Structure 1
Amino acid sequence: MTPDGIALRHSTVIDEVWSTLIEVYADVRADQLHLPHYSVERFGEQLARHASDPGWEVVIGYDTAEPVGFAYVNTLTPDDRWWRRMATPLPGGCAERSTVAVKEIMLRKPWRGQGIARLIHDELLRGRSEAQVSLLVNGDGKVKALYESWGYEPISTQQPSVDGPVLTAMLWLTRPASRSAD
């Protein structure tokens, strides 16, 4: 248990956590599920694809038995489509450094504003060996500002799907490049 009373559970096996991730997603996106890009079916397709990528891992936060949120990642290669979809040139050497991508961070409303998203994020990245972390965020609002307060910096934009929004790509160096084992 964490000091906040939130239990954090890791998994690398999608079948063990599938229904929990779908349940949390449907709750968090309830007001957008009618949009094709945010449908549960689309999220399920995306989740299956991400879970089959190298280095996939999830951390789910629980308040007693209630799942409150999750974050999941996978590792990126230098030629990953993640990098190829960027709208502007990347900072020098960015795609060549070992990178983990945070593909989703979801937190149910009753648990927001308590530092739980950061707790899940940090737990997920704690044992990772990659030199940097990348993520995508929709818009320039509160969530982007939150990630900036965690140390992420905008590096480009991309539109991963034709019917989806343009997202800001952000990067956080977990270790200085001179200490990277690449």
Structure 2
Amino acid sequence: MTPEFTHYNAAQARALRGVVEDVFRRAYVDAIASGDLFESPAEFMKRFDAYTHPRSAGFELVVARIDGKPEGQAWGWPLSPTAGWWTNLRLDEGEGDRAEFTTENGTRTFALSEIMVSEEHTGQGLAHALYDELLRGRTEQRVTLLVEPDNTRAYTAYRKWGFRRVGSLRPSWPGAPTLDVLVHNLE
């Protein structure tokens, strides 16, 4: 298995909506089957459309193809000074001043919004390869992501990649769960 990676900006990513939804459906089979509104393909695609809005400066999508078929994807963007990413953040004790932690300038933090691999290719290192490819050449000081506290598989991987928990937050999306906030310094 040798994946081929292709990078897309926000406008190019919007043109790949069908590919993005297909990979999501093949990566989150159990979550979709749960019936949770937040995990539904329709709600997921609403979030994707918001992330790839024409004003989404710096958005980047990486698609991994194996034998020409999209089998994984990851995306994110640098947090601007007006980004809402840190809204509702509850920092863990000892993580410092909230205002200082959440101050963004467009080059401080890269928000890794999604990383997913089709069920057929999980456990083969593709998620880590996607992560490395997405961050290759990034100049931000740190990367952050959100993870469900009980998602042991993802949590274990993120810790191996150098992430640490700094707090929790509940995104403003309808039906969003409270998620753990992880950060990894890139410098």
SS in 2 for 1:172: strand
Q: Percent identity?
A: 25
Deviation, 1:162, is: 4.9
User: Which ranges of structure 2 fall in alignment gaps of 5 or more residues?
Assistant: none
Partner Cα separation in structure 2 for residue 31 and residue 147 of structure 1: 21
Partner Cα separation in structure 1 for residue 52 and residue 174 of structure 2: 22
1:146 is aligned to: 157
1:45 is aligned to: 46
Partner Cα separation in structure 2 for residue 106 and residue 51 of structure 1: 17
2:27 is aligned with 1:6: no
Partner Cα separation in structure 2 for residue 32 and residue 156 of structure 1: 24
Aligned length: 172
- Which stretch shows the higher mean deviation, 135-144 or 91-100? 91-100
Deviation, 1:105, is: 0.5
Deviation, 1:101, is: 0.3
Partner Cα separation in structure 1 for residue 169 and residue 20 of structure 2: 25
Deviation, 1:95, is: 2.3
Deviation, 1:74, is: 1.1
Residue of 126, 144, 168 corresponding to 2:136: 126
Contact 1:11 1:59 in 2 (8 A): yes
1:87 is aligned to: 90
2:96 is aligned with 1:96: no
Contact 2:14 2:52 in 1 (8 A): no
TM-score (norm 2): 0.85
Contact 2:148 2:178 in 1 (8 A): yes
Partner Cα separation in structure 2 for residue 78 and residue 156 of structure 1: 20
